[in-house]
Amino acid sequence: MKLIERIAYVSFWINIFFVIFVYIGMPILFINVPNFFETWTANKGRNPLNMTFSILTLPVLFHWGYCIWFLFKYDRYSKSIFPLFFLNVIYAPIYYYRVKIKKRPLRDKINKPQEIETETEDKSISEEEFIKLNRDNIIGVLKLWSSKEEQLEYQKSVPISQVSSELFGQWD
């Protein structure tokens, strides 16, 4: 694991705790602790609580930036760009969890219909085979033209066709 990926993993956990604290913990503290707002704003915001909160925003912003960078580099055509920009630090751990931890397939290419690969034999024939087939067909037609017995046999085998029109049709 590279150093940047380790930092991103640690910032992932910091981001999760940060989001839980901001959206669940702080409202509970503001409601239940009577002087929490004064404690939060004491000394013009230069108190240990506010300083800790401000320092923790740096890894959270780093994690959000890492997720955006990862999206543009490896997952360009996914639909995660909108929630990453509009829900930023709230959605960044969800995106990171899906892509890096659960290893969702990345979408770096436009989804084109996949061609079904079937094993087909090469149906083309070589020039020698083509010449041999043409020669055999021409010889067969000439034998049919020259032999009265073969024409009568052909008429018996295919009673609905007329031999003379068939013979002229083979030359077209």
Tens of pLDDT, residues 38-50: 887 788 777 887 8
The model carries a pTM of: 0.57
Share of the chain above pLDDT 90, in %: 11
Residue 112 has pLDDT above 80, yes or no: no
Banded model confidence at residue 10, pLDDT cuts 50, 70, 90: very high
Integer Cα distance of 56 and 13 in angstroms? 11
Banded model confidence at residue 79, pLDDT cuts 50, 70, 90: confident
- The domain segmentation of the chain, as residue ranges, is 3-101, 127-170
To the nearest whole number, what is the mean pLDDT of the chain?
82
Cα–Cα distances in angstroms (integers) from residue 135 to residues 8, 125, 132, 158, 162, in the given order: 73, 15, 5, 24, 24
Mean pLDDT within 4-27:
90
Q: Residue 111 half-sphere exposure, CB side, CA atoms within 13 Å?
A: 7
Residue 146 has pLDDT above 80, yes or no: yes
Q: Which amino acid is at 112?
A: K
Integer Cα distance of 148 and 167 in angstroms? 12
Integer Cα distance of 103 and 49 in angstroms? 36
* pLDDT higher at 72 or 155: 72
Residue 123 has pLDDT above 80, yes or no: no
